[in-house]
Amino acid sequence: MSNRRTLFRMLTIQRVLVKYGLDDIIKETHLLRPLRFFFYLVPRRRDSSAPLGERIRLALEELGPIFVKFGQAISTRRDLLPADIADELAKLQDAVPPFPAEQAIEIINDAYGETVEDVFERFDTEPLAAASIAQVHTAKLKAGTEVIVKVLRPGVLEQIERDLGVLRMLAGLADRYWEHGKRLRPLEIVDEYEHTILDELDLMREAANTAQLKRNFQGSDMLYVPDIYWDYCRPEVLVQERIFGTPISDMDTLREDGTNIKVLAENGVEIFFTQVFRHNFFHADMHPGNIFVLHNDPERPRYAAVDFGIVGTLSPEDQRYLAENFLAFFDRDYFRIAKLHLDSGWVPPGTRVDQLEAAVRTVCEPIFNKPLAEISFAQVLMRLFRVAQRFDVEIQPQMILLHKTLFNIEGLGRQLYPQLDLWETAHPVLRQWMDEQVGGRAMLKDVRDNLPQLRDALRELPAILNHLGEQVAEGRIRFNLQSPELKIIQVQLEEQRRQRYWLAAAATSVLAGALVMTLGSLPWLGWALLGAGVISAYIARP
């Protein structure tokens, strides 16, 4: 996006803010003060007659998809917003002004190469819901199945690319001029967001995400994921099973039906931690417009989720690091939290662990064993931000989706059941996952997974050693026995030799133990061999 187009877009944003009487928001933003000359280029036709919440919602709708998504994210945080503003922003979840049905039908016809009437038994022109990226129509397939048809908004890619250019320009200003720019890494955050939002524009990707989550929760009594009808899916059109449930935001209906709200809230926390740690594939757009409740059995309510355009994953390192931080937090082990931050490189190497530990304790200790209703997360977040500033904690862009999801989950839990005990609900799930990762079963799995590589290495080792010996004998390789580099190589070779030895011992013991136990003659010997294999695998670890 050219600088000229970016500046023009900034003028447009300023015009919309002035139009709805919101330009003071930008004037008070320190980062944008270098751009205040824009204010003198825009006619002053302010309209402040409508309530503030309504003006904010209308401005976000007019500014486009990225701004609508921002409004959706903060709409779940009623603890951070006045009630009237939260109510207005909640309308952005599924009540954005729709585009004409004629355009939707034209997009569908082009995608299928045939008319809507040829594809569907019935297609309802009145949208069921409209959001920033797409809108949804109800329909019936020729086979009689009730479905929803999701259609991308016309021109949405161009709008998003335009606003990404604005975000990139602002990130560049922050990176260059803001005192916390380097630590918060705004350019990397924008790159991460760009990847996420552009993926959301491919509805085939969303369909694949939905299918994956359905497999992950197959047979679950906590979460239902709708079926995808692949024959009718295209990059700009998605067709899936229609969900008949109560929106999670309709608390009056849930209570009238006798829904066990406490169980519902606890299941929501367990679903989140299961997705992040057990499946490493989590729904990252969990605002109330995407979540329904199936309460055929009010005492055992079941979630139904939709709209999987944004999903998140973590690297094994980030996943393990995050789990250890959560567990240390639940155990009030603040030294462990500080040490994890230092070991991960998230804080500068010279940081004193005891000082970081004391700072984390000061922030976290007051909120323990309190229900959501008694915790001011706004204050906690502000205090954690000040700790991050003091110790130069670097923001990790790859964690942004997870932070956003936690933001939504906590806001949703506050609406559902403010008395929810987050610690009691989440702790067992995390503890079980960690036990699976570092326990004896995990070691056996590592040995099993490494057996093919071990077999290939042992098979190739004689040829490699023979070839190396020939090169040394012919004088093509000369060793400087005093070389520091050679000493490093020697140490590495010795370590590799040690690992190969113990891995071979582990593999032999495990296979022999399995064979003895299969024969059933000397079970104690089989268990002894398996134990020796586990111990050998542990010794072989670097």
Active-site residue set: 285
| 3-class SS string, 458-488 | HHHHHHHHHHHHHHHHCCCCCCCCCCHHHHH
Nearest partner of 293 among 256, 227, 247, 241, judged by Cα: 247
By 3-state DSSP, what share of the chain in percent is helix, strand and coil, each rounded to 5? 65, 10, 25
CB of 504 within 8 A of CB of 459?
no
Token representation of residue 365: 């200790």
Nearest partner of 270 among 329, 209, 324, 220, judged by Cα: 220
Give how far Cα 423 sits from Cα of 168, 266, 369, Å. 38, 11, 7
Token representation of residue 417: 């059941």
Helix, strand or coil, per DSSP, at residue 50: coil
Cα 230 to chain centroid, rounded: 25
Euclidean distance between CA atoms 188 and 59, whole angstroms? 27
Q: Residue 146: beta bridge partners?
A: 140
C-alpha torsion angle, residues 244, 248, 252, 253 (rounded to 10): 20
CB of 502 within 8 A of CB of 494?
no
Euclidean distance between CA atoms 42 and 26, whole angstroms? 14
| 3-class SS string, 139-173 | EEECCCCEEEEEEECCCHHHHHHHHHHHHHHHHHH
CB of 266 within 8 A of CB of 235?
no
- Signed CA dihedral, 108, 113, 116, 121: sign only: negative
Token representation of residue 271: 């679903």
How close are the terminal C-alpha atoms of the chain, in Å?
48
Q: Which residue has the tokens 């000061």?
A: 362
Q: What would you measure as the largest C-alpha separation in the chain, in angstroms?
A: 92
Helix, strand or coil, per DSSP, at residue 223: strand
Within 10 angstroms of residue 225's Cβ, the number of other Cβ atoms is 25
CB of 266 within 8 A of CB of 425?
yes
